[in-house]
Structure 1
């Protein structure tokens, strides 16, 4: 008789081998997850989508901005989000999301698909980092946002629309984390400029497909309502 922990298709199962028969019970190998971020969608929302889709349990630890100065020194590299996995801390939002995508089967079905999904995520993220999210001067902030949304967003949308074409998903034949990231980021963009993607019905339809996934629809319905 031997013991082994189940792999990807038997997550958290402790299995006993007796001859050619395996008796499996829920063991203690299920990872313990704790995601720490502000009480915003922001850079943690892609990970929350992935947790929702996979059904993995996690602690959605949200902190208030007023508490950040005293918490920051305790955070590796002084930035959030961070994800703790059985006490090991992973930083950088896209590294966290990429890890969760792999764990959930949403990274892409082949190495090429994985590279393409990563490239789309990075392309969208490059655009999102153009915005002065932390700018406190509202006039300066508004001017910058208006300029980016008016003069730079159309190029991104055109390129994404061309890449998507008439396919259901951005990469391959099934949903990946790249589709999730488009939905997460476009939700924020459309809150700033509701008609932003009106000329790109295929991209809007992709949002609809993502939001129609039952686990994602349930998360959107129950998540805290925040501005960003």
Structure 2
């Protein structure tokens, strides 16, 4: 069994999908959380100067979604067929397209609030409409089994609801999906144990 060390800030953010996958697959790893004050010193030591980074027996991997694909490869979480795997990737990338547009690191509060408000009132509802239609009457987003696309939906929506609590009021099926993910025993256990952070 490889030794895994995940390095990220003390927040859910981009590392949470990796933590969900580790929890679900019951794989042990070191959840190394760093403080913002330590970031400048650590940044210069990392490939491409970004986190999260997952060290696998000392080899540093970067990009959270690439890491997630690596960890779910050859498991049902990735999708049971090649077509399902493509669908899972497409849903994840579609969600990430939106999440990546938020100015998370913007220092000017007025600019940040304006951009957040615009994305939450215009762009996010359009995506949710499409996602709701894509889910339809299915139990999970892809196939008949939970995949990491469902995990990513729960993680992204949990963060968006921090900023707009009524965002899912007109999408009960998406709320149900969120609750189903959070009720999976391994995920529920992780949510209960993880350090409480806003994001």
Task: Give TM class, smaller chain.
Answer: over 0.9
8 Å CA contact 1:54–1:104 kept in 2: the answer is no
Aligned residue among 78, 81, 87 for 1:116: 87
Q: Distance in 2 between matches of 1:33 and 1:122?
A: 25
Unaligned runs of 5+ in 1: 1-29
Per-residue deviation at 1:100?
1.2
Over the residues paired in the alignment, what is the CA RMSD in angstroms? 0.8
Q: Deviations over 1:123-162 (max 9, x none)?
A: 0000001100001111111111111100111110001001
Per-residue deviation at 1:92?
0.5
Which residue of structure 2 aligns with residue 94 of structure 1? 65
8 Å CA contact 1:161–1:200 kept in 2: the answer is yes
Residue 146 in 1 paired to residue 117 in 2?
yes
Which residue of structure 1 aligns with residue 39 of structure 2? 68
Q: Please state which structure has a larger fraction of its residues in helix.
A: 2
Aligned residue among 118, 143, 156 for 1:185: 156
TM-score (norm 2): 0.98
Q: Deviations over 1:154-203 (max 9, x none)?
A: 11000100110010100000000000000000000011101001100000
Q: Please state which structure has a larger fraction of its residues in strand.
A: 1
- What aligned pairs does 1:19-168 form with structure 2 within 5 A after superposition? 30-102=1-73, 104-168=75-139
Q: Distance in 1 between matches of 2:166 and 2:181?
A: 19
Which residue of structure 2 aligns with residue 198 of structure 1? 169
Give the number of aligned pairs.
Answer: 199
Q: Distance in 2 between matches of 1:100 and 1:184?
A: 17
Unaligned runs of 5+ in 2: none
Per-residue deviation at 1:104?
4.3
Higher CA-based Rg: 1
Q: Secondary structure at the match of 2:73?
A: helix
Q: Distance in 1 between matches of 2:129 and 2:26?
A: 34
